[in-house]
Structure 1
């Protein structure tokens, strides 16, 4: 493991980016941690009272906090997962938004951008990208599961969870592992090598790709190159469980796919660097203490043909500290023994600090003469929250009540020296009842809020979309919503879920065109978002599984005009089968026309998409895979965004993996 970490450090040192020194330091520190961990574990395994235990739990363990949860694992994905958003593509209520490519972002039930909270191993991924956090730097091979949480009760997760939560768990490799993939159409390739045991796991990934083409032959600006390293460790000493992880990723020359390419604007990210670290200490009596870090530094290079070049640098560090503990009884008060197991909950405190948020810009002529250089944002943001969750049972009714109090403050340290702060209390209540072994219903209601991001308030410069000016006077978004879900099981093999929802959002923040060349942000008095989702699962046999789902989503402002980023109506049919040493996945999706579009969107035509993959286990160690994406070879856009490019043409990819 030490050799692995130092090898990765050397690779990063040779990459020649502005962060090469700090990345090398991070990785060499990783090596020292691994050495200490391995030494400690070697001793620990021979000592009394010390044993290894692997625990993978959610930050919020009780399902009644929000019932509309779905976990996605690698073997449930039909498409070749080129970007993180591909993990979410077949989930009802989740769809793509933004411009696409390596930075493809996503929305949940019409909530997008910073209205969705994304976590990696419990560390919040906060950024000032206007399209939202796409977690583009995370190699697909490093992902073990993705948990998707929807519903009004997601407000339990704080300001950025108004629309839901995406929680990603990184993989732990407990044996040697090798995997390689290749897609001839754009020379896309990836390779991962990993090794580990029950205590320590390490992995290294390299991937790259040239520009791909759409069905009509147009070249897409989606070339990229990235290298990532990951280290996990976990062990238990007496009653204390210690876990930790470190992920380092460096991307180079990443194309920003856009409809403006190549005739009007060419955007490239020369580098996109991230470090994610977390450490957790868990004790049955004292609870769990989690510390996390996300360090990010990236640069965008925007060339406006026959005009100018703008280079923007972004860097920040996010620290988070979370303590939580379970309690029994009613808010800690013990109940008679016959009720003790029916009542309990969780309480805790969370602190999130965004530090050294710095965005700077330089403009050059096309002959590379400097026109100006300036700092656009020099800010920070702090968030302190107390939260509690109580669940219980009364006769046949299961209920849950959650509350959270947040204090948020933002600072801009430039000449204006602006400071904005606010306090908000969010609450949710849910009930669940089973009327029979086959039929159950669930209802929940709650309120939530979202603070404007630092960029929405203070940024004033160039972005891949154009000149953008912040609005320091933006009010926080406030929403109140409800949801009703029916679960019906015809028998042990057929299950039907139907959910309907409605949200009313006050002070909704939207981006709008001030003029042809300038964008800004404003509050809309009121926006209504509503819709429903359904999912029918049919296990024909132990080895043959169907899932048919449908989503319907609408949203309007108080003047009746549509909102941006709403999900198009869509039917999705996924089939998975297993025969002997073969696994086959087949996904058909029909997306209906979308004509009610927001101010930054264009209409979408209907499209039928077909993806297939087949995997063959050659023997106990080797597996081969074949992926067919966009078999119908459709010309389509992933979202209604006015700058969304065409998607890639029909493609075939091959994979091979080895694990003893």
Structure 2
């Protein structure tokens, strides 16, 4: 059906709507405008109007949980709805989080368009700050199936073993793109200044296209609620064992119909200590600035923001020691984001647009010391590019269905890569210097349209479906590979079915198909990387994935648990392989299977004074032709987190225990890892209404283990501690 016809039908549909009508108010009964409303274990999100009212389609069957996120990004305690009122709207009275630190397990990711079969998790700002998460990989470390590639300060998050550009990373709704072979990481980002991080595990190709096989990680910077008082937040921290010194300041001011926020920060990490001594080249420095302005414009809310993040001298420690020193002297990102969200109108519950423009630069430097028969050398790669995106979407109820349609356009242009190699004689004088232009000018454009729906069938059954068409083109001019181009059209889709087995207990099954188009560097780059020298392959074709997901979820009262299973088959797998030490190539390699099980439990104990989280997962990945293990598959682990509220929430104490099984099936560029257990402690105390002191001790028993399964990986930090003071005035 042509897009114009689809939109006409979408706008003109006049089926009777069966929807949940609700109203969000504060404890004094005042309506809350602009709040985000989502239901745990349901897709989508709606926003409240000027009177705090919202409409949710399809109408859910009780019991269920309602999650409210205020306009400033503050997460409220999930509200349990046992029954619907016989007359009038459902009134949701919001209360602050009782523990002020709750991980919404297996429930909702309000700002991610996730299909019904996906597993979702949300981390409020307080959770991130209490756990002193320094990187996104730290934020999501308690998510089942979450993995980490690369070293500590250059770590890259992944989901369900689908790494290296197969897990999508969003920052304020826009893609984070890099030419690193490990994938995007945003390691320059300080999670302390985020309003929240949301995770969706499972196929995301319908809403987001390429790069979302494994799921989506969405980091959102802070917003300001209209009318909020002027507030200044300051933070300072010092660490030992993993030495750090960090400082940051934030100013927020609410206007009558909007507000603005300004942030500035600085962090410095010195070389850390492992149980066997100081790890050479393990330090990093970063700083950043953010300004955001939001205001009501016409029938909607407009927001515009500028964010600069600068990473400097990020070390990539090597198990071979000082003979091989690789660093990222510079990683710079500038991002301009804009959005416009219209009020619910003409039957639409959501209607909005998002735009983004940015530039990115990554410099890689490798120093190799002289050895027997080898001279010392210095290699450099300087990669820079510009990115853009535009996204428009509309959501409305039609009958007992929620229907969304959207346009998604994004790309990268002006990609340029410069490289040099300098050889020194025994007296450290330049013997030979070679400069190259591996990529002179490359670009990529992705145009897509998508649609999705969720429909109730009776009181217990619901169906979900979605489809998307992408057209992806790339162009390379000059450089090592000369003039090259590709053009691929891809179809993505999913179908799901959900049944309520009992009150609060549901079963979901989902089939999906997606694709991933290789990055520009996968095809056209040649030069040094963080772990060696790589040569692209302009003949790479897109990967395809057929994905099956199933889940069993229970949500009722103070206990919530969920079990997830998945089986993914990838074809035309894009594989990085090693031809000799530190030299890598790309190829499409047949088919591969990834399968796994995940479980998570969250419970409030003793009238909410204690919060318990337990998560575990098992996963397995192999190629189909020879059953060889795949890279990046996370090992089996079990993690416990117990938190205790102190003195009417004036303070808190928590303990985290993580048990990792040995991994005897490493991938082709990995090494086997032993079993190990780590214990972390954390505590905080409010010294006054405006000042809080927080402390964290990690790896309490100084356990020895590798920082990653990489062949060149070093040991992870031993026992380390950080103390932070946070003020709000």
Structure 1's 254 and 63: CA in aligned 2 closer, same or farther, altered over 3 A? closer
Choose the corresponding residue for 1:200, options 257, 260, 266: 260
Structure 1 residue 507 and structure 2 residue 572: aligned?
A: yes
Bigger proportion of residues as helix? 1
Equivalent residue, structure 2, for 1:496: 561
Equivalent residue, structure 1, for 2:600: 535
Structure 2 unmatched runs, 5+: 1-49, 51-69, 74-107, 371-375
Kindly state the Cα deviation for residue 153 of structure 1 after the two structures are TM-superposed.
4.7
Deviations 1:29-83 (A, max 9, x none): xxxxxxxxxxxxxxxxxxxx9xxx9376978666644541111124335643222
Structure 1 residue 355 and structure 2 residue 413: aligned?
A: yes
Answer whether contact 2:113 2:207 (CA < 8 A) is retained: no
In the TM superposition, 1:351-430 aligns within 5 A as: 351-366=409-424, 367=428, 369=430, 371-377=433-439, 378-395=441-458, 396-414=460-478, 416-430=482-496
Indicate the SS of the match to 1:647: coil
Kindly state the Cα deviation for residue 449 of structure 1 after the two structures are TM-superposed.
0.6
In 2, distance between residues paired with 1:71 and 1:154? 20
Answer whether contact 2:365 2:379 (CA < 8 A) is retained: yes
In 2, distance between residues paired with 1:313 and 1:610? 40
In 2, distance between residues paired with 1:65 and 1:243? 29
Deviations 1:372-397 (A, max 9, x none): 11111231111001011111111121
Equivalent residue, structure 1, for 2:41: none
Kindly state the Cα deviation for residue 328 of structure 1 after the two structures are TM-superposed.
2.7
Indicate the SS of the match to 1:159: coil
Indicate the SS of the match to 1:141: helix
In 1, distance between residues paired with 2:444 and 2:321? 35
Deviations 1:158-212 (A, max 9, x none): 1010111111111236611111010033541111111111200111101112111
Choose the corresponding residue for 2:200, options 129, 140, 149: 149
Structure 1 residue 291 and structure 2 residue 319: aligned?
A: no
In 2, distance between residues paired with 1:280 and 1:368? 54
Structure 1 unmatched runs, 5+: 1-48, 330-339
Structure 1 residue 561 and structure 2 residue 628: aligned?
A: yes
In 2, distance between residues paired with 1:67 and 1:454? 29
In 1, distance between residues paired with 2:195 and 2:109? 13
Equivalent residue, structure 1, for 2:289: 229
Equivalent residue, structure 2, for 1:82: 134
Deviations 1:221-273 (A, max 9, x none): 221222211112211134121012211112222212332432x3101222221
Deviations 1:534-589 (A, max 9, x none): 01222113121111111100011011110000010000001111111211121100
In 1, distance between residues paired with 2:507 and 2:551? 6
Equivalent residue, structure 2, for 1:278: 337
Deviations 1:64-123 (A, max 9, x none): 4454111112433564322221111111110212x2121111221110010011000011
In 1, distance between residues paired with 2:572 and 2:266? 44
Kindly state the Cα deviation for residue 311 of structure 1 after the two structures are TM-superposed.
1.0
Answer whether contact 1:213 1:648 (CA < 8 A) is retained: yes
Equivalent residue, structure 2, for 1:634: 703
Structure 1 residue 570 and structure 2 residue 637: aligned?
A: yes
In 2, distance between residues paired with 1:93 and 1:387? 27
Indicate the SS of the match to 1:113: coil
Deviations 1:487-515 (A, max 9, x none): 125x5122221000000100111111122
Question: Higher mean Cα deviation, 555-564 or 466-475?
Answer: 466-475
Indicate the SS of the match to 1:365: strand
Equivalent residue, structure 2, for 1:103: 154
Report the aligned-residue RMSD: 2.0
Choose the corresponding residue for 1:91, options 134, 143, 150: 143
**What is the aligned length?**
596
Kindly state the Cα deviation for residue 462 of structure 1 after the two structures are TM-superposed.
1.8
**Normalised TM-score (structure 1):** 0.87
Indicate the SS of the match to 1:76: helix
Answer whether contact 2:163 2:183 (CA < 8 A) is retained: yes
Answer whether contact 2:112 2:200 (CA < 8 A) is retained: no
Structure 1's 562 and 433: CA in aligned 2 closer, same or farther, altered over 3 A? same
In 1, distance between residues paired with 2:589 and 2:613? 38
- After TM superposition, the runs of 4+ consecutive aligned structure 1 residues lying more than 4 A away are 55-66
Equivalent residue, structure 2, for 1:12: none
Structure 1 residue 579 and structure 2 residue 643: aligned?
A: no
Structure 1's 364 and 59: CA in aligned 2 closer, same or farther, altered over 3 A? farther
Equivalent residue, structure 2, for 1:213: 273
Structure 1 residue 133 and structure 2 residue 166: aligned?
A: no
Equivalent residue, structure 1, for 2:537: 471
Indicate the SS of the match to 2:153: helix
Question: Higher mean Cα deviation, 404-413 or 362-371?
Answer: 362-371
Answer whether contact 1:201 1:231 (CA < 8 A) is retained: yes
In the TM superposition, 1:592-603 aligns within 5 A as: 592-603=661-672
Answer whether contact 1:195 1:202 (CA < 8 A) is retained: yes
